[in-house]
Amino acid sequence: MLKAGRIWALGAMSGTSLDGVDAAMVETDGEEIFAFGASDYRGYSEGEQAVLAGALGKWPGEDVAEAEAVVQMAHAELLSRFEGAQLVGFHGQTLAHEPRERGTYQIGDGAALSEALGVPVVWDFRSADVELGGEGAPLAPFFHFACAKWIGAERPLCFLNLGGVGNLTWVDPRKDRPEAEGALLAFDTGPANAPINDVMMRRRGLPYDKDGALARRGHVEDGALELFLDDAYFSRMPPKSLDRNEFSDMIGLVNELSDADAVATLTGMSAAAVLRGMEHCPEPPERLLVTGGGRHNPVLMEMLRVALDCPVEPVEAAGLDGDMLEAQAFAYLAVRVARGRPTSGPGTTGVRAAVCGGTISRPEGTD
């Protein structure tokens, strides 16, 4: 096990949007954040994205060799640009996630990456949680707890990640540790950018609705919104988590609408899913800090601001980096794993008791 004390760790995340890999350095002892360091990004080419998209929904035993090679190469290329990392946290790319049925599946080989970089790599963060009855996601909440301390929060607040899928973390910074009872409540709110991106690609051949420009020209169709909110997912008590494509049928609800109305309605659905999620907060948060690409969508942000009675701000308002928070989370979690500290608990994934997920691979010849 890694000796006590602070170290520099490098985390990498390849998210559900399939746009690329983020990587960032964090100095931490696995409890406290001491400093944030360099960060970088390596986008997937269109060809690589097509390979990854073609592998979504596949499980171990199916042929994912090409997708695995893309993920491996992109990470090796990106992470070798960094210097000074004593440990790497490698999330990999989620292909499928059905925690209650078939499990959770991230591709990427941490042992091979460790050999390539010459640094210990923590990977396979989600399986242990699922094996112990948890959702295996979201995992960023233990890091959000450390972020709440880092920004000096004294009252409960929320972090909202608007990626392909949305996830919400309610944090009580008055608690000492993330695993303390009542310190965290976290879950996936519903689809966020994934359906917007899918419709933009299908109808306009564009990867996303830049700055909400198309949604701004449309209006939200209430009937479709109501049908969407009828989904049993929204009345399920958290913790709960989603696969990227679990809501792909929702696109059918906007089939008959114009492009602008369809995208406005999907944007409204993402916001409404967050509002439904906020009802689960044990105490009203003093602010909602938004991370992930969706914070750049002013239409989505405005919908949240109008509907919520707390300030809704990008995480940058608190001095954090919304493009890198997930990569930083896996740097932080890697150090927790190396120290044998829990990375999820009943409040974040519904796992029976706090669990330390992740496998550590060391380069051959090191201990």
Q: Which is nearer to ligand AH0, 257 or 341 (CB)?
A: 341
Q: Tell whether 21 is in a known binding site.
A: yes
CB 48, CB 67: distance < 8 Å: no
Residue 154 burial (10 A CB sphere; 0-12, 13-18, 19+): exposed
Footprint (CB under 6 A) of ligand AH0, residues 152-171: 161, 163-165, 167
**String of DSSP letters for 84-152:** --SEEEEEEEEEEEETTTTEEEEE--HHHHHHHHTS-EEE--SHHHHHTT------THHHHHHHHHHTT
- Residue of 104, 197, 265, 343 that binds ligand AH0 (CB under 6 A): 104
CB 199, CB 207: distance < 8 Å: no
- Residue of 114, 169, 193, 270 that binds ligand ATP (CB under 6 A): 193
Q: Which is nearer to ligand AH0, 129 or 261 (CB)?
A: 129
- Residue of 164, 178, 190, 218 that binds ligand ATP (CB under 6 A): 164
**Minimum gap (Å) between residue 68 Cβ and ligand AH0:** 16
With a CB cutoff of 8 Å and minimum separation 6, the contacts of 193 are 17, 162, 163, 164, 208, 270, 292, 293, 294, 297
- Residue of 10, 17, 214, 334 that binds ligand ATP (CB under 6 A): 17
**String of DSSP letters for 314-346:** EGGGGT--TTTHHHHHHHHHHHHHHTT--SB-T
Q: Which is nearer to ligand ATP, 120 or 195 (CB)?
A: 195
- Per CB under 6 A, which region of 25-33, 138-146, 150-158, 356-364 contacts ligand AH0? 138-146
Here's the x/- map for ligand AH0, 295-334, by CB under 6 A: it reads as -------------------------------x--------
Footprint (CB under 6 A) of ligand AH0, residues 201-260: 241
Tokens of 347: 């409040």
Asked if residue 94 binds ligand AH0 (CB under 6 A), the reply is yes
SS3 53: helix
Three-state SS sequence of 155-169: CCEEEEEECCEEEEE
Q: For binding to ligand AH0 (CB under 6 A), which residues are involved?
A: 15-16, 94, 97, 104, 137-140, 161, 163-165, 167, 188, 241, 326
Q: For binding to ligand ATP (CB under 6 A), which residues are involved?
A: 15-17, 19, 161, 163-165, 193, 196-197, 208-212, 292-294, 296-297, 326
